[in-house]
């Protein structure tokens, strides 16, 4: 048996660090593919023949627009609630927080007494979420011992 042309294969192979180097091989096989960060504009106007012949509506163009990024917040002041009027306390609720409410003596003949209570102060200083959500407003029509309307 003679020497084959494949006996000295190691002499023809590239070093491991040069095996993916396109400058040495001239082949860009291991470059890979990096997909775009955003999907292609498949929802863009003009992809079909019908869309190419017609114009895109203004409403559709405006829906695709991205808002301008600014450093300014367009709040309306004080509370900076975008959908509110900017007041920290709602004028229909009142600013005085109720503590623990205790019902007045209930008169079974008067249904209005079911809704009367008096404030005995904040109990222990730690109110539950339900208790903290209750605010009181004064009502001049209630004369039963300085009652409050919830």
In tens, the pLDDT along 117-131 reads 777 777 666 667 777
Question: Does the pLDDT value for residue 62 go beyond 70?
Answer: yes
How far is 135 from 119, CA to CA, in rounded Å?
11
Residues 70, 77: Cα–Cα separation, whole Å: 18
- For the question of whether the overall pTM of this predicted structure is more than 0.95, the answer is no
The pLDDT-based confidence of 48 (bands split at 50, 70, 90) is confident
């Amino acid at each position: 048996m003679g020497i084959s042309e494949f006996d000295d294969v190691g002499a023809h192979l590239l070093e491991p660090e040069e095996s993916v180097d396109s400058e040495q091989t001239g082949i860009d096989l291991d470059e890979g593919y990096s997909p775009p960060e955003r999907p292609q504009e498949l929802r863009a106007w003009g992809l079909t023949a019908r869309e190419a012949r017609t114009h895109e509506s203004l409403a559709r163009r405006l829906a695709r627009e991205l808002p301008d990024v600014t450093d300014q917040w367009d709040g309306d002041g004080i509370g900076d609630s975008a959908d509110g009027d900017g007041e920290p306390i709602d004028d229909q609720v009142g600013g005085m927080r109720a503590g623990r409410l205790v019902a007045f003596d209930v008169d079974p003949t008067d249904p209005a007494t079911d809704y009367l209570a008096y404030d005995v102060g904040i109990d222990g200083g730690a109110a539950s979420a339900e208790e903290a959500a209750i605010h009181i407003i004064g009502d001049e029509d209630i004369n039963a011992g300085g009652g409050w309307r919830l």
